[in-house]
Structure 1
Amino acid sequence: MVQGTTKGVATNVDGQYTLTLAPGHYAVVIKYVGYQTKSISDVVVKANAVTNLDVTLSESASNALGEVVVKATYKQASVASLYAVQKNNASISDGISSELIRRTPDRSTSDVLKRVSGTTIQDNKFVVVRGLSDRYNNALLDGTPLPSTEANRKAFSFDIVPSNLIDNIVITKTATPDIPADFAGGTVQISTKDIPDQNFMSFGAGYSYNSLSTFKNFQSGYRNTSDYFGFDGGARKLLNNFPTTDQIVRRQLNATQNIQAINSLNNNYNVYNKNAFLNQSYQFSMGNVSDIGKNGNRLGTTFALTYRNSEATTPDIRRNYDGFDYNDDQYRFQTNVGALLNFGYTYGKSKITFKNLYNRIFDDLFTYRTGANVNASTVDNKFYAYDLVQKALFKSTLEGDHQIGSKNAKINWNLGYSNIINDQPDQRKTNYAQFNAGDPYLASVTTLGKANTRLFSYLTEDIYSGKVDYKMPVKLWNQTSTFKVGVSSQYRDRTFNARFIGLLIDGSNPNSEDVRQRPIETLFGQNAINSGLYRLDEIPNPNDRYTAHSWTNAGYVMLDNKITENFRAVYGLRVEKFDLSLSTKDDSQPQPRAELNNVDFLPSANFTYSLNPKTNLRASYYRTLARPEFRELAPFAYYDYEILATQIGNNTLKRTLIDNADLRYEFYPSAGEIMSVSLFYKNFNNAIEPFIDDVNSTTTISYINRQAEAYGLELEARKTLDFISENPFYKNTTVYANFALTRSKVRNPDIGNPIEKERPLVGQSPYVINGGIQHMAYNNKLSLNILYNRLGRRIFYAGGSRFPSVYENPRDVVDLQVGYKVIKSKGEIKLSASDIFNQKNAFYYDIDGNKKYDTAGGDLDFKRYNLGTTISLSFNYTF
């Protein structure tokens, strides 16, 4: 209600409300039965603008529910609603709001996640929480599970979701019965915008310069206009009438059919040179909200389009180990297109939302490699790889919230559908080998294999999900508690196909050696093909094609029990039944090739004791799990030319059971501020880890169950500097830091006699440091942000019996952003600098065991490179 008037409004089921007032200064009073009334002063309402006022109420300390008024100013009440949610959350969590996201140079969700306490990113897209790799974390988008986007691992590629479409991100680090249990590090919950506060239309454009790439020579293979819009256009894929594997392998093609089939392939191996242009990004979004009738019903729509295109060069990638002495130049052309369309309707005490997201990444990598390979007795090589991967995600969620009955019980339900595509059309690899100094380079086209093959693979997965939750307030020990039950189900259906095809030269032809000396542009020239010099061949392996499906059905019961005024216990039981079946096209093997059938009882208990209104002491125990991903079970063998190893699944893997315990002390000095310290411990029964067999010249990576444990400490602080002085400079300056210290131990089995009997978990950093300073000036028109990130050395690639583990060396990453609002604060210009120091990325075999990167001491380079410093300029305007 507006203080001093009779004007007021009731909130909807989400606590949202709209008050229409004339321009001016107001005091607003918020009341709810059983809670302390709050009075907010200095609320400024401007003409043709929306003033957001989010308020958190505290439960009344008196059973008599007498009038208790808590007074606050508008600024105090409207800042950092995310921290208010975090403080009142049943579980331990950390997060970042859209406001903070806007103050960083981050363009994708993966960039944003590295700002969250205890969180790091691998390969610029995969999340690591509490030092635990991507396979021990899960992700939810708008309340429904996100699928794995990768063909060869359990991981979601967070660079798919643009940061400007995010409302907030919360990482839940302890389990409650009402969330999926397949995690140990954290559950990443991403929320996109639904009902906007007001009608708007916004446009943004940005350009960036990279010190190693922009305006410098950029090489690539075949390029189509449609590549710039994120689609191959069909020029690289196999035709529908392309010969079958059986026809090719059994030599059922006559000479004419052989030539026709080869000519139907894209045989353009030209290497094109140009100067890389500025990286560019564009965003367009609009929102509409309408009041329907006089009962406070509202209909909202949010629509957004995003486009990003970049040309990035990574020169001089050094690989010097195990007889390899390689130098790579890589050129990555990438296009990202996305769209979001969300609808929301609130009526009475109900809300219905329909959220839709589509995103597509076109990632075309050209690699030119030179150097020696002692294993193959070559003094020099010239290796060419044309590697396109197309990833697409479509996700649709229908959700409802309804308050029912006189006791304010609520029902929440959702239905979700997702489709993932991972398409690798025509990955081409060709090598020229020189066996003695002065000899000519000869193309390796006499056999099919690592140096001569064309991979056509296609993965598609459909995911259907649904859940219903019911919660009801109950009175226990004269305190208000909440009883909650729910059921959920998820069905995944995957199909994967792969074919390894190549051209073999007729060695008996007197012209064959001359053709093998041709440059890459004419090696597969039309005259050589039409003269019958090449024969189409294929590596037949029915295990390269598989289908898989899984059912995950769950039910839970929990009680959010306020035992005393200051002591809260949230406890219950979740039961999950999991069924998986995976089959290959190998008719000689019994079907299916892999099966899992588990029923797991997963208890959890979260205790919170409020030492005072600003301080919580938390303790938790919970059991979670991790299940093998389809790819980890599939016998599909894939040679990865970047890590020079073959990956293959293991159909005997078991699911992992994890016992977890947490302690946390958290202090919220004022709105938007936090200080916290956390301790955690995790015990893994049958942890899923890569198994390295490096005895032979080609390393093989598979997976195995092992015993492991992890424990750690997390510290977080966010505070304005007003405690130093009341000077506006200090009041408008905020410092932020989080620090995580983690230790883990995996006990390697004696299989293959590994060098390391014990080691840390793959991807686990012993420490993670994030820090930043934010300053606002000129009535919040000017913003300045300096951000810092560093993580301790972590295992990138576990060791085997000949070599120890590959470690990623620590590096300091400093980002800077300056923003200034213009045109009555409707527009904003932002100048950003990412990775200012541009320190070297180094992945190395720690041969001397001194835990330092030291090639002079005998350490070997697995890969070493620089990515350059990126300078960006962007402009956003909201109409």
Structure 2
Amino acid sequence: MKSFKSTLALAFLCFPILLFAQKGTIRGQVIDGENGEPLFAANAVIKGTQIGTTTDFDGYYELQAEAGTYQLEISFIGMSSLVITDVVVKAGEVTVVEAVTLKPASNQLAEVVVTSEAVRNSEAALVTVKRKSTNLIDGVSAAKLRKTGDSDAGDAAKRVTGVSVEGGKYVYVRGLGDRYTKTMLNGVDIPGLDPDKNSIQIDIFPTNLISNLTVLKSGLAELPADFTGGVVNIETQEFPTDRILDVSVGVGFNPSMHFNSDYISYEGGSTDFLGFDDGTRAIPRADGSGPLPYFDDADAVDFNKNFSRTLGAEQSTSFTDYSLGVSMGNQYSLESGNKLGYIFSLTYDNSRVFYDDIEYGEWQRDRDPEDYQLIEATTQNGKLAEQNVLLGALAGFTYKTLMSKYKFTAMHLQNGTSRSAQLSIDAKDGAAQVSDYYAFSNNLEYNQRGLTNVLLAGEHYLDGGDWEVNWKFSPTLSSLSDPDIRKTAFSIDRGDSTFDPGEGGLPSRIWRSLSEVNMVSKVDIIRSHTLMGDDAKFKFGMSHVYKYRDYSIYRYNLNEREYTGLNSIQYSGDPNQVLIDQNLYRQYIDGMDTTFVGLYYNPELLDGQTNPNEYQSNVNNFGFYVSEEFKPLESLKAVIGLRAELFQQRHTGRDQVAAQNPNDPSGNTLNNDVVLDALDLFPSANLIYALNEDMNLRASYYRSIARPSFKELSFAQILDPVSNRTFNGGLFQYNDWNGQLESTRINNFDLRLERFLKGADIISISAFYKAFDSPIELVRIPVALRDFQPRNVGNGTLIGGEFELRKNLSFLSERLKTIAFSGNFTYTYSRIDMTDAEFNARKTYEKDGQTIERTRQMAGQAPFIINGGFSYDNTEKGLSAGVFYNVKGRTLEIVGGNLAPDVYTEPFHSLNFTFNKTFGEDGRSSLSIKVSNLLNDVRESLYQAYEGNPQVFNRLKPGTAFSIGYTYSFY
């Protein structure tokens, strides 16, 4: 009896919970049609009931109701009400109503009625933000990413107007190079992972971690000043509107690359499959740091034996690409009425590429003014194979009260790439600085990149929402390592296959490492007030960015010492037989003398020398801004602002002379010395004139800056072991260069006319003009034709236009309502005033009939960009598909000089197909298929000379790739 009473009591206690469990939840968001921002305190009511609530400062609302089908009314004072019909509520489940927009009320329009299906398009919400934004903005929503099947942010960015993606990694906005594009994560700076680039490689961000990807194309005072083309902002997922538990798998196949028995690879470490080396490739000494002192020591015997004996790639069969992913998240309403949300995501991708006919070329102009054809200097042909691993993890928590929100996000991205190459090298003695030889080279590389980012952020609304305080603190740790890059070349025109300097080159090993700390903190304060009888916003704030980079390269060359009376070392031509025991550095005892003979690894640096390819740099950048957003006229909105940045960069490093002899007065040594110090002012103005409710005319001006990177403002000399080309830091002085690399300052003007059509449809036309003061470009060093250096060149100008059209085809026929076209075209014309040194160098080798002008195209500037495609979207059938095309015009990649011709990147015509289908119970299963490079186009860069035939600088054939993915949602 006692047991029965206890059970009955427990049942009564649980009864309210059981009743509540039978209810379902409605969640959604309301956007203010006046400014595109979330609408605070809007009413959400289920018609015919007393069930209702108001939206929070993010515009979100939440209701509980019994299972059934309802009409949901959204209203706000002074705006037309919106009634959403056919809102289906299921017991114990969440019904998500995508963002809706309320527009100002008019006499003709008091209430709008739409079905639930009509608002399930977050693309429309993004269009609303674009329409009401205070600056020029384009972007891609999470909904669009799902439809296109893009796997990472690099693919997703191609959908944005005026955006191209170089090598699948680096974003170029309006054709400008990566120097003029800034990448941000959740609104804060993140460092790049490649010392050869200024911007981050965005292919490391999987799309399932992304909420939205937006590109800002005009300046505001609250934005950093170091962008010119645009700011790419990647927003990670934050506060799930519904419970999430998704698991996905995918495979990819390229007929020319996978299950190919000609694939080459080499044995690495046990953790390569996780994207990092386990220490197998570490420098073989106890502390793993720095070069060993000069080899002439008994310890060097053991030291040389500890190097990996593998110097050549071996043939194997390549496996297919595959990927795995899991995401989970939810939000909870606490007893206090506050909300707590979380999201976790883990992704893994393992892919392979294989090029069996890759080509690198070095060509020169002929000195004879009557001979127009280029002269072959060196060409490399052969195989290149890569295995690429990407591991991504994200954990985020959000806590929201009625007037505040706190956000914590931690993310780690790990990427490892194992690369093998076998190249035939053909050098011609008819070219300058080249001796005649043939060789066969094995190149083994491993590159690992890691990025750990933490974001702490808060939003606070005070005084009834009139004051808004936002703060962010975001440290990022990034690292890049190239452990044990091995290059072994045999000359093949003689039977003895010797290692002769000046021919194949000494077999070498390189260890390269970079670590960077990036600390960003910022505070933004917004005061809503009234000015001239209309709503206005006064903004001010400050920011601080601290960066520190530590970079080093260590190089070991394989040398040979023989002893009279011993047999000479014999080489079979097999690189993996070079370091057999009988060839290695060893003791030879002859009477009372002890001699070391054989092959030994000699560090590039000897006793008493320091490393010229090691540097430490740091930056402190303090930013302050103030701006006012107001309406001087009924239909005119203005945003006027001023930003100040106090920037200081310090450097510790030395050139080659100082490294070899620190006491040589001709050498240069810097010890935390200031190399860049400036206080700049950056005014900005944005004007938005509303011609009508759906049409805007925008005009903007902003001043920006492009500063040299850490690597560019250094003495470092960085060799690419595959192409055999060397980067030289801008601090090096030459006869035609003073070593003083300066920042580029740019004045930017924009004009855009945009019309927003039904749903997510839009048509817009834009014009822009940019004036560059002393732009930085990568140029060839005339005295060393394989060496390149960043330098300031003459002033430049850029003028261009953009056209965008996104239109549903229902205007042709109602049967075509599920098909839409989206396309954009960007055209640019750029001119750079040559320096006297460049102009005179070009005039020296001017050909008969040729006239060298004082101006030329800007390096890295594409003359046009085309993005276009047709998409099919049938929500009822859970089916979507699309064909998407992207191309960038011929672009000056490397500026030539003297005998070296210019190098241009040729257009790559990318045509891709995607297919997505949801099926199963409640559409929890989804299948995606993607076909890339349907045209089977080739990626290549070519030397171009007056009246001469183009010749190859780089060429590779990516082939056509197929991928299929499956995702199952448990909720």
User: Distance in 2 between the 1:441 and 1:302 partners?
Assistant: 63
**Structure 1 residues 565 and 504: CA distance shift in structure 2, 3 A:** same
Report 1:616-655 matches (<5 A).
616-651=696-731, 652-655=740-743
- The one-letter code of the counterpart of 2:717 is A
Of the three residues 581, 587, 594, the one matched with 2:650 is 581
1:505–1:445 Cα change, 3 Å: farther
The equivalent residue for 1:395 is 453
Q: How do 1:279-358 and structure 2 match up within 5 A?
A: 279-293=321-335, 295=337, 297-322=338-363, 323-358=377-412
Q: Shift in Å at residue 400 of structure 1?
A: 0.6
- Among 467, 474, 481, the alignment partner of 1:416 is 474
> Which position in structure 2 is the counterpart of 1:562?
631
CA distance in 2, matches of 1:180, 1:259: 54
Aligned-residue Cα RMSD (Å) equals 2.3
Q: Classify 1:423/1:600 alpha carbon distance in 2 versus 1 (closer, same or farther; 3 Å).
A: same
Alignment of structure 1 residues 42-441 onto 2, 5 Å: 42-47=86-91, 48-59=93-104, 68-79=110-121, 80=123, 81-217=125-261, 218-241=263-286, 248-249=293-294, 251=295, 253-254=296-297, 256-293=298-335, 295=337, 297-322=338-363, 323-375=377-429, 376-434=434-492, 436=493, 439-440=494-495
Amino acid at match of 1:827: S
Q: 1:474, 1:481 within 8 Å by CA — same for their partners in 2?
A: yes
- Separation in structure 2 between the aligned mates of residue 352 and residue 246 of structure 1, nearest angstrom: 48
1:664 shift after superposition:
0.3
Q: Which residue of 2 aligns with 1:860?
A: 951
Residue in structure 1 matched with residue 74 of structure 2 by the alignment: 30
2:677 to 578, 594, 597: 597
Quote how far apart the aligned CAs of 1:264 are: 2.2
Query: Structure 1 stretch 412-421 or stretch 14-23: which is displaced more?
Result: 14-23
Aligned to 2:62, what secondary structure does the other structure show?
coil
SS in 2 for 1:630: coil
- Which deviates further from its counterpart, 264-273 or 40-49? 40-49
1:527 is aligned to: 582
**Following TM superposition, by how much is the alpha carbon of 1:718 offset from its aligned partner in structure 2, in angstroms?**
0.9
| SS of the residue 1:722 aligns to | helix
Unaligned runs of 5+ in 1: 850-856
Q: How far apart, in 1, do the equivalents of 2:213 and 2:417 lie?
A: 26
Distance change in 2, residues 1:697/1:803 (3 Å): closer
Aligned residue type for 2:233: Q
Distance 1:814 1:594 in 2: 48
- CA distance in 2 between counterparts of 1:685 and 1:837 reads 40
Q: 1:233 to 1:495 in 2, by over 3 A?
A: same
Give the conservation status (yes or no) of the 8 Å contact 2:824–2:868.
Answer: yes
Identify which range, 9-18 or 597-606, moves more after superposition.
9-18
Q: State the one-letter code of the partner of 1:328.
A: G
Q: Distance in 2 between matches of 1:795 and 1:725?
A: 44
**2:882 is equivalent to residue 795 of structure 1:** no
Counterpart AA for 1:53: E
Of 803-812 and 132-141, deviating more is: 803-812
Map of 1:453-602 to 2, 5 A cutoff? Answer: 453-506=508-561, 514-531=569-586, 532-540=597-605, 542-584=611-653, 589-592=669-672, 595-602=675-682
Number of the residue aligned with 2:777? 689
Corresponding position: 1:740 with 2:826: yes
Asked whether the equivalents of residues 183 and 625 of structure 1 are also in contact (C-alpha less than 8 Å), the reply is: yes
| Greater radius of gyration (CA) | 2
SS at match of 1:18: strand
State the shift of 1:796 in Å.
Answer: 2.1
Which residue of 928, 932, 948 corresponds with 1:830? 928
Q: Counterparts of 2:924 and 2:462 in 1: how far apart (Å)?
A: 41
Q: What SS does structure 2 have at the residue aligned with 1:369?
A: strand
Cα shift at 1:517 = 4.2
Q: Is the 8 A contact 1:481 1:560 kept in 2?
A: yes
**In terms of mean alpha carbon deviation, does 472-481 or 104-113 score higher?**
104-113
Equivalent-residue separation in structure 1 for 2:784 and 2:481 (angstroms): 31
SS in 2 for 1:164: helix
Q: Is the 8 A contact 2:630 2:639 kept in 1?
A: yes
Q: Secondary structure, in 3 states, of the residue corresponding to 1:485?
A: strand
Give the conservation status (yes or no) of the 8 Å contact 2:779–2:894. Answer: no
> What amino acid is the match of 2:65?
L
Distance (whole Å) between structure 2 residues aligned to residue 561 and residue 6 of structure 1: 39
TM-score normalised per structure 1:
0.94
Task: Evaluate the alpha carbon distance shift between residue 779 and residue 501 of structure 1 in structure 2; reply closer, same or farther with a 3 A threshold.
Answer: same
Report how far residue 387 of structure 1 moved.
1.4
Q: How many angstroms apart in 2 are the aligned matches of 1:593 and 1:330?
A: 41
Q: Which residue of 2 aligns with 1:854?
A: none
Taking structure 1 as reference, are residues 356 and 211 closer, same or farther at Cα in structure 2, changes over 3 Å only?
same
* Distance change >3 Å, CA 515–CA 245, structure 1 → 2: farther
3-state SS in 2 of match to 1:469: strand
Between the two proteins, what is the percent identity of the paired residues?
27
CA distance in 1, matches of 2:133, 2:632: 16
Code of the aligned partner of 1:355: T
Partner SS, residue 225 of structure 1: coil
Between Structure 1 and Structure 2, how many residues are aligned?
860
Decide whether aligned partners of structure 1 residues 816 and 503 sit closer, same or farther in structure 2, where only a CA change above 3 A counts. same
1:726-748 Cα offsets, whole Å, 9 max, x none, are 23xx1111111111111111222
**Paired amino acid for 1:351:** K
The CA deviation at 1:239 is 4.2
Task: Write the letter of the residue equivalent to 1:688.
Answer: I
CA–CA distance in 2 between the matches of 1:507 and 1:848? 51
Structure 2 spans left out of the alignment, 5+ residues: 1-44, 364-376, 587-596, 664-668, 732-739, 843-851
The 8 Å contact of residues 448 and 502 in structure 1, kept in 2 or not, is answered as: no
Amino acid across the alignment from 1:396: V
Local SS of the residue matching 1:56: strand
- 1:711 deviates by 1.3
1:784-823 equivalence runs, <5 A: 784-823=881-920
Q: Is the 8 A contact 1:568 1:609 kept in 2?
A: yes
Q: 1:34 to 1:627 in 2, by over 3 A?
A: farther
Deviations 1:344-372 (A, max 9, x none): 11111111111111101101111111031
Deviation at 1:658, TM superposition (A): 0.6
Question: Secondary structure of the equivalent of 2:60?
Answer: coil
Q: What are the Cα deviations for residues 272-305 of structure 1, in whole angstroms up to 9, with x where unaligned? A: 322111100111111121111152x111111011
Structure 2 counterpart of 1:853 = none
Stretch deviating more after TM superposition (532-541 or 35-44): 35-44
Distance 1:61 1:448 in 2: 81
Structure 2 residue identity aligned to 1:744: S
The correspondence for 1:766, drawn from 863, 881, 888, is: 863
Query: Deviation of residue 705 (structure 1)?
Result: 4.4
- Contact 1:646 / 1:699 at 8 angstroms: preserved in 2? yes
Cα distance, 1:607 vs structure 2: 0.4
Alignment partners' CA distance in 1, 2:330 and 2:795: 53
Letter in 1 for 2:358: I
